[in-house]
């Protein structure tokens, strides 16, 4: 017997500065718990790593959160009793879940918060419960800091989540 699909929980926000993006990450951290998968997507320079930096601050993890582009994945242990943050950059991984399996994310998923940049088409099979964060920015020759952020919670974990608290 299959579980009934859940309507996704969704909210949209406008972010006007890198500091607001970090603050969004800090607020989002309060909603996260061990076992959560967060998928970040957006253009280069949209603010995915800045958001993750705020998540790390909100979760109270050790180490500066920087883009793991060259190491692919970085683990930030908790400084308290919260879950560790596993930050993955799947940009250079061409394959689907096969390449991601080499990172053993399924082993970490139960006791960590896993954030994957560029994970579309690569990590969805890890769990049906995930939070997708899409960051849109103006492209081209612009210094515009405005970002449109859409958060969509999928699966039972996020069915009753009030993502609207993030805009408060």
How much is the pLDDT for 59?
96
How much is the pLDDT for 1?
35
Distance of CA 53 to the CA centre of its chain: 11
The tokens describing 31, both together, are: 């909603």
Q: How far apart are alpha carbons 163 and 161 in whole angstroms?
A: 6
Helix 18-29 with 48-59: angle, nearest 10 deg = 40
Instruction: Give the 3-state secondary structure percentages of the chain, helix then strand then coil, rounded to 5.
Output: 25, 25, 45
How much is the pLDDT for 98?
56
Residues in the chain predicted with pLDDT less than 70, given as ranges, are: 1-8, 68-71, 92-109, 140-143, 168
């Amino acid at each position: 017997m299959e579980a009934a699909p859940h309507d996704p929980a969704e909210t949209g926000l406008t972010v006007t500065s890198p500091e607001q993006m970090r603050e969004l990450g800090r607020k989002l951290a309060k909603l996260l718990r061990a076992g959560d998968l967060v998928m970040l997507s957006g253009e280069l320079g949209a603010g995915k790593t800045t958001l993750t930096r705020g998540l790390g601050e909100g979760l109270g993890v050790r180490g500066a959160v920087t883009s793991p582009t060259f190491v692919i994945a970085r683990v930030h242990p908790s400084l308290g009793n919260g879950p560790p943050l596993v930050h993955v950059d799947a940009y250079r991984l061409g394959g689907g879940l096969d390449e991601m399996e080499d990172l053993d994310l399924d082993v970490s998923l139960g006791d960590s918060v896993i954030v994957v940049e560029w994970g579309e088409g690569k990590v969805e099979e890890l769990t049906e419960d995930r939070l997708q964060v899409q960051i849109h920015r103006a492209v081209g020759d612009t210094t515009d800091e405005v970002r449109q952020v859409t958060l969509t919670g999928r699966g039972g974990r996020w069915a009753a989540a009030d993502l609207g608290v993030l805009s408060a």
